[in-house]
Amino acid sequence: GAVVSQHPSWVICKSGTSVKIECRSLDFQATTMFWYRQFPKQSLMLMATSNEGSKATYEQGVEKDKFLINHASLTLSTLTVTSAHPEDSSFYICSANQQRGTGRSYEQYFGPGTRLTVT
Amino acid sequence: AQSVAQPEDQVNVAEGNPLTVKCTYSVSGNPYLFWYVQYPNRGLQFLLKYITGDNLVKGSYGFEAEFNKSQTSFHLKKPSALVSDSALYFCAVRDIRTGGFKTIFGAGTRLFVKA
């Protein structure tokens, strides 16, 4: 099956610094990628939809200036957490849609996640 | 709005016994339903999906799920649980009304299988 990678797998940063997380579709092109965050023992909450070549669509309550998303190519989306604070510590998971055939059928593949700890 | 509910935070079962993890859904139109499993500090692994066709869907690792339209349920089942099945399970629905096909997750159910 298709593979989605994330880098780094874990990162520790100091409060006030910015952190960039990469999401790559390794063997397919993804016009649409998604970013989720997951707090301990909780479900995945969709943060934003990342569209190649256009601005990301953010879910209600997600600060677009704090969580910058760039989808510069068909295989790469990045999430930058700006001016990180301890409350941003979380598990961030990306996913990518792979179109199946010529219709509107998609398969969604998830990355392994990135654990961010802000001290 | 599209949503899924997992009424149980945790399910405990003895190894070798059958297991069921419950999920109910609320969707507009035809449901696209999924089950995923997550091990500690790992991403999601796809187990199975229902798009159309047979109501009983077979998936990975011996899991299966039954789509029940009248009860709007999509319960995950396995005839004989293994200790290694202990993990966090998510039911999900794909929102196909929007062009991006967002996936909306349930709260998750933690499965503990005792030896």
pLDDT, tens digit, for every residue of B30-77?
788 999 999 887 778 889 999 888 899 999 999 999 999 999 999 999
Q: What CA–CA distance (Å, rounded) separates A2 from A60?
A: 30
Whole-number pLDDT of residue A101 = 66
Q: Does A93 touch chain B (CB under 8 A)?
A: yes
Q: What CA–CA distance (Å, rounded) separates A23 from A2?
A: 13
Tell me the nearest-neighbour CA distance from A38 into chain B, angstroms: 10
Q: Residue A1, exposed/middle/buried by CB under 10 A (0-12, 13-18, 19+)?
A: exposed
Buried b (16+ CB within 10 A) or exposed e, B50-83: beeeeeebebeeebbbbbeeeeebbbbebeebee
Res. B95 pLDDT band, cuts 50 70 90: confident
Residue B79 has pLDDT above 70, yes or no: yes
Q: What is the pLDDT of residues B3-33, one digit of tens each?
A: 899 999 999 999 999 999 999 999 887 788 9
B108 with A43: Cβ contact below 8 A:
yes
Task: Specify the range with the lowest mean pLDDT, choosing from B23-27, B86-90, B99-103.
Answer: B99-103
Q: What CA–CA distance (Å, rounded) separates A34 from B23?
A: 23
For residue A106, which residues of chain B lie inside 8 Å, CB to CB? 101
Whole-number pLDDT of residue A30 = 87
> B77: Cβ–Cβ under 8 A, 6 or more apart, which residues?
B18, B19, B20, B21, B63, B64, B65, B66
Tell me the nearest-neighbour CA distance from B50 into chain A, angstroms: 12
Which residue type is seen at A59?
A: E
Whole-number pLDDT of residue A99 = 74
Q: What CA–CA distance (Å, rounded) separates A27 from A45?
A: 26
Tell me the nearest-neighbour CA distance from B16 into chain A, angstroms: 26
Residue A26 backbone class (left: φ over 0; alpha: ψ -120 to 50; beta: rest): alpha
B108 with A110: Cβ contact below 8 A:
no
Lookup result for tokens 């063997």: A27
List the Cα angle B67/B72/B73 in 5-degree steps: 50
State how far Cα A19 lies from the chain centre: 12
For residue B104, which residues of chain A lie inside 8 Å, CB to CB? 46
Whole-number pLDDT of residue B99 = 58
Average pLDDT of every residue of chain A: 90
Q: What CA–CA distance (Å, rounded) separates A77 from A3?
A: 14
A61-90 residues touching B, CB cutoff 8 A: none
For residue A49, which residues of chain B lie inside 8 Å, CB to CB? 100, 102
Whole-number pLDDT of residue B98 = 61
Residues of chain A with pLDDT under 70: 1, 100-106
The CA–CA distances, whole Å, from A27 to A48, B46, B60, B101 equal: 23, 18, 22, 20
> A42: Cβ–Cβ under 8 A, 6 or more apart, which residues?
B107, B108
